Amino acid sequence: MAGRFEGITAFVTGGSRGIGKGIVQFFAEEGAKVAFIDLNEDALGETTKELRAKGYCIGRDRRDCFILSALLLNTGRMGRSV
């Protein structure tokens, strides 16, 4: 049932590795726009490249209070958020 999250924006913390990465991939595969952050900048960049290469709409940044606040405020502008 691909596409069941079309028009939804998912915000994921710890989205570069393990369960967090799986959640990012799941939402992207189901049509959501995904914004995610992680403490590990190298893993963050690698996950971003991997998912963008598959054509998914991905936004990301490293852990930063100001950026986190901006992401939370702006995800609502991209459609319904989860």
Can you give the pLDDT at residue 70?
A: 64
Does 60 map to a domain?
Answer: yes
Cα separation, 7 vs 37, in Å, equals 20
Can you give the pLDDT at residue 78?
A: 54
Does 31 map to a domain?
Answer: yes
Domain assignment of residue 60, given as a range: 8-77
Does 62 map to a domain?
Answer: yes
Residue in the block written with tokens 């963050």:
44
Per-10-residue mean pLDDT for the chain, 82 residues long? 78 89 92 83 86 76 58 59 50
Question: Domain count of the chain?
Answer: 1
Does 14 map to a domain?
Answer: yes
Pairing between β-strand 8-13 and β-strand 33-38 as defined by DSSP bridges: parallel
In 3D space, the residue among 56, 19, 12 whose CA is nearest the CA of residue 38 turns out to be 12
Q: Please report, for the domain that includes residue 70, its CATH number.
A: 3.40.50.150
